[in-house]
Amino acid sequence: MLQADAYAGFDPLYKEDRKPGPILEAACWAHARRKFYDIFMANNSPIAAEALRRIGQLYEIESDIRGQSPEVRKEQCQLRAKALLQDLHEWLSQTLATVSKKSELANAIRYSLARWAALTRYCEDGMIEMDNNIAERALRACALGRKNWLFAGSDTGGERAAAIYSLIGSAKLNGMNPEAYLAHVLEHIAEHPAKRIAELLPWNVAALLQPEQRLAA
């Protein structure tokens, strides 16, 4: 399963003839919504406003169930979101026939309808959220600094950078200041048994440290 925007580079991953098999696509509602948002901000389109209202109803449900177990999320999506999605699909299909085929509204509607199965996959799997905003926010630091470290120098350098990014992101997810986490690791790693290196992973360190130690830098 891969949740992402409509970047064409991902398309080969979804093909049926992919070896060892296709990856299921979960599309991002934030990207679908953004197209209607831009139109509304540009010309106050009532059609775009209605699309935003309907998508907003879906996000209200997502907000209610965020953090719940996958089983609860799927159950609530089936009970509350599925009918709204069916209505939205019908409305989009009907609206498409009433607007100019070359308009930005038509492009926005076709974007959603063409990816409908992937956009609604979150209703079938409680582990999927409506969008991939969390992942994109986590990568924002990479995007902001990419000109500063455009060249990794080698494949090994790139792999090491990816490992550091993963550790920093995991530290944040576990409620730790990354600087405090890395300081703890550097302080203990020299005397730590190599076969127990997993004990220094962020979630294990977080369980050992007091709240003030996790946030100290």
Asked if the model's pLDDT at residue 101 lies above 90, the reply is yes
Using the structure block, give the residue that is written with the tokens 């979960």: 26
Mean pLDDT of the chain: 90
More confident residue, 21 or 203: 203
- Kindly state whether residue 128 falls inside one of the protein's structural domains: no
- Amino acid letter at 100? S
Does residue 96 share a domain with residue 190?
no
Asked if the model's pLDDT at residue 217 lies above 70, the reply is no
Is 125 in contact with 70 (CB distance < 8 Å)?
A: yes
Give the pLDDT mean for 97-124: 95
The pTM for the full model equals 0.71
Using the structure block, give the residue that is written with the tokens 């992942």: 135
Q: Angle at the Cα of 23 (from 17 to 29), degrees rounded to 5?
A: 130
Does residue 13 share a domain with residue 113?
yes
Q: Pick from 103, 123, 143: which residue ends a domain?
A: 123
Using the structure block, give the residue that is written with the tokens 């996790």: 214
Does residue 160 share a domain with residue 108?
no
Give the pLDDT mean for 23-32: 91
Nearest to 68 by CA among 128, 124, 135: 128
pLDDT tens figures, 41-54: 999 999 999 999 99
Is 30 in contact with 4 (CB distance < 8 Å)?
A: no
Q: For residue 3, what pLDDT is reported?
A: 82
- Kindly state whether residue 82 falls inside one of the protein's structural domains: yes
Does residue 118 share a domain with residue 39?
yes
pLDDT tens figures, 131-169: 988 777 777 776 677 776 677 778 888 888 888 888 988
Number of domains observed in the structure of the chain: 2
Q: For residue 202, what pLDDT is reported?
A: 92
Parent domain of 20: 2-123
For the record, the structure tokens of 112 come out as 């959603």
Does residue 157 share a domain with residue 107?
no
pLDDT tens figures, 189-213: 999 999 999 999 999 999 888 787 7
- Kindly state whether residue 59 falls inside one of the protein's structural domains: yes
Q: Could you give the percent of the chain with pLDDT greater than 90?
A: 61
